[in-house]
Amino acid sequence: MNGILQRYFSALGRSFLPAVAVMSCYALLLSIGAVLKNPHFVSQFVLLQASGVQFFANVLTQTGLVIITYLPLIFCLSIAIGMSEKGKKETAAFAALIAYLCMLIFSGLTLRLSGMALKPDVTIDVQNMVALAQTLAMREAMQNTVLGIQTVDTGVLGGIIVGAMAASITRHNSERTLPLIFGFYQGRHLPPILAGLAGVLIGLVLPFIWPWVGGGLSWAASALTGAGIAGSFAFGFIEKLLLPTGLQHIWYSLVHYTPIGGTLEIQGQTYVGTKAITMAALATPDFTDNISHITRLWLGQGDTPGKVFGIPGALVGIYLAAKDRSKVKTVAISAAIAAMFAGVVEPFTFMYLFLAPPLFLLDCALQGLSFAVLDAFHVSYLGGSTVPEILFNGVLQGHKSTWIPIVLLGVVLFFVYLVTFKWYIENYNVMTPGREESAGSGEKLLSREEVARTLLQTLGGISNIKEVNNCMTRLRIQIHDASRVDEQGLKSIPDAAGVAHPASHEYQIIFGMRVSEYRQAVDSLIDTSKDAS
């Protein structure tokens, strides 16, 4: 049972990544637009005052806000695609769209027919366009106008539920046969139909149950907020602790995209979750409020000192502790770049995780400490956890984003990581890269195809492969028979930074930022084998 749940939540966590990647990209565009609209710079540089530049700035900021507005639908489709099998992803995405629209429409219909619908504020703007806005009563009753429909506001959580449901329906019904008279509706046509009907049923009952869900989320938010600095420490510690399982995406998404992360009204619009709030604050030129009560659980704030400064410090420690530094230089530089410029820490973590678990616990504790310290000093940082985001959302947004404590804490963590990692590795003779026994000369560099072939053989052959997926850094492989796997051989897969085994029938091989290239090589070998047979 635990294995089944582990595999399910591992797949769920993986399916978050496309939506998170979209958010990350558009957040950067929004950040650039916010800089160009920054009144502190516009007043000093004539070029920025040009109508063309300001139009371009508005385009950039609005791209980010569009993603926020339609975030539930984006997550719905991302979850449906990510949790579906190869060859069924398009069907699952279409089924998710149908189900989500049916849920919105029929929950809105139930609200109106039952007399539960609350009247929104209706205003006329300067272009004589009608604008609908939530009232406070609507927010408390979990009602909102979504895609032009006044309905139950399930937020991102509703999109996640519908996406997962659509994927499940597609997986179990895309090959189902029906009586001859209904033959047209079977196969790929059936999942969208069933998902739509499920969306109708959800919509009919949603107005009666979702306010209770909203109340539960509000209670959780109050409990987490009331935990103070200890709660901030626990959030950061648990987020890093979950990283080897791939479930950290679910953990921080609860804060980033739901009321647990807080709600805030900015220029008459209410935003939910730390991600939406920080992006909206960046997009508002005159916003200067300290929102440390929101950013205290903002992953972009708490893990930035560790990613941008601490991890490079640890990698310097690993480099200095190496006996053959030429073997660790390239991998250390690539891992540092991944952390500093892409916010990806798996290449670093799996470099030492299974060799020195206490170091990993130290890493978790230092991240929790980072959250706690920044919370104690009421830091309100709006940026993300990469060097470009510190520049755009911190330094160039200095009037609204307190970035200096981030850097100061980061400098301290750089030396803490460096000293502790170097000391532990040398004191306990940990075989991190560059400290292994020399294998002698004449080692052959393998191509990605050769690495993929070796990996498949180690996992028991192509016939033992059930499913292949990947996230940002890991190749995730589901197998049929665990007894056919060469556990020892997996530890020496060329080019791999490490291997995780979160469930009995799942292996995760960490290849870093080039994982998609190894995924293509594995898929190519599998497809070639199928064609040959």
Within this chain, do residues 423 and 473 fall inside the same structural domain, yes or no? no
244 three-state secondary structure: helix
Which helix or strand (DSSP H or E) is residue 361 part of?
A: helix 357-376
Mean pLDDT of 93-104: 95
Largest Cα separation within the chain, whole Å, is: 80
Is 337 among the domain residues? yes
Within this chain, do residues 310 and 418 fall inside the same structural domain, yes or no? yes
Which helix or strand (DSSP H or E) is residue 173 part of?
A: helix 155-173
Distance CA 88, CA 77 (A): 13
Is 407 among the domain residues? yes
Is 504 among the domain residues? yes
Distance CA 78, CA 20 (A): 9
- What the block records as the tokens of 363 is 């890493």
Within this chain, do residues 303 and 420 fall inside the same structural domain, yes or no? yes
Within this chain, do residues 314 and 407 fall inside the same structural domain, yes or no? yes
Within this chain, do residues 417 and 457 fall inside the same structural domain, yes or no? no
Question: Environment class of residue 388 by beta-carbon count within 10 Å: exposed (0-12), middle (13-18) or buried (19+)?
Answer: middle
Q: What was the pLDDT predicted at 436? A: 60
Question: Environment class of residue 24 by beta-carbon count within 10 Å: exposed (0-12), middle (13-18) or buried (19+)?
Answer: middle
Does residue 243 contact residue 349 with C-beta atoms inside 8 Å?
yes
CA torsion through residues 195, 199, 202, 204, sign: negative
Is 156 among the domain residues? no
**∠ CA 255-258-261 to the nearest 5 degrees?**
40
Write out the residue range of the structural domain in which residue 472 sits. Answer: 448-532
Within this chain, do residues 412 and 473 fall inside the same structural domain, yes or no? no
Is 143 among the domain residues? no
Within this chain, do residues 293 and 396 fall inside the same structural domain, yes or no? yes
> 10 Å Cβ neighbour count for 276?
28
pLDDT > 90 fraction of the chain, expressed in percent and rounded: 28
> 10 Å Cβ neighbour count for 302?
32
| Beta carbons within 8 Å of 4's beta carbon, 6+ residues apart | none
Distance CA 340, CA 407 (A): 13
Average pLDDT of the chain, as a whole number: 83
* DSSP codes of every residue in 372-392: HHHHHTT----S-SSHHHHHH
CATH number at residue 485: 3.30.1360.60
What is the band of 445 on the pLDDT scale with cuts at 50, 70, 90? low
Is 232 among the domain residues? no
pLDDT tens string 153-173: 887 778 889 999 999 999 999
Of the listed ranges 16-30, 62-76, 431-445, the one predicted with least confidence: 431-445
What pTM does this model have? 0.63
Residues forming a β-bridge with 123: 131
> 10 Å Cβ neighbour count for 477?
23
| Beta carbons within 8 Å of 336's beta carbon, 6+ residues apart | 311, 312, 315, 348
- The total number of structural domains in the chain stands at 2
Torsion angles phi and psi, residue 465, rounded to 5: -90, 125
Within this chain, do residues 496 and 402 fall inside the same structural domain, yes or no? no
Q: Please check the confidence at residue 316 and state whether its pLDDT lies above 90.
A: yes
Q: What was the pLDDT predicted at 440? A: 42
Distance CA 523, CA 503 (A): 22
Give, in order, the Cα–Cα distances in Å from 166 to each of 97, 198, 204, 423. 9, 9, 18, 50
288-292 long-range contacts (CB < 8 A, ≥24 apart) are 288/399, 288/400, 289/380, 289/400, 290/378, 290/380, 290/402, 291/264, 291/380, 292/375, 292/378, 292/379, 292/380
Is 226 among the domain residues? no
- Which of 392, 427, 462 is the endpoint of a domain? 427
Instruction: Read off the amino acid at residue 337.
Output: I
Within this chain, do residues 416 and 456 fall inside the same structural domain, yes or no? no
Is 489 among the domain residues? yes
What is the band of 292 on the pLDDT scale with cuts at 50, 70, 90? very high
Task: Compute CA 360 distance to the chain's CA centroid, rounded to the nearest angstrom.
Answer: 21
Within this chain, do residues 371 and 417 fall inside the same structural domain, yes or no? yes
- What the block records as the tokens of 458 is 């180690």
pLDDT tens string 256-266: 877 788 888 88
- Which of 364, 395, 427 is the endpoint of a domain? 427
Question: Environment class of residue 43 by beta-carbon count within 10 Å: exposed (0-12), middle (13-18) or buried (19+)?
Answer: exposed
Looking at mean pLDDT, say which of 120-124, 149-153, 223-227, 293-297 comes out highest. Answer: 293-297
- Which of 427, 456, 486 is the endpoint of a domain? 427
Within this chain, do residues 364 and 463 fall inside the same structural domain, yes or no? no
Within this chain, do residues 303 and 383 fall inside the same structural domain, yes or no? yes
Distance CA 224, CA 241 (A): 18
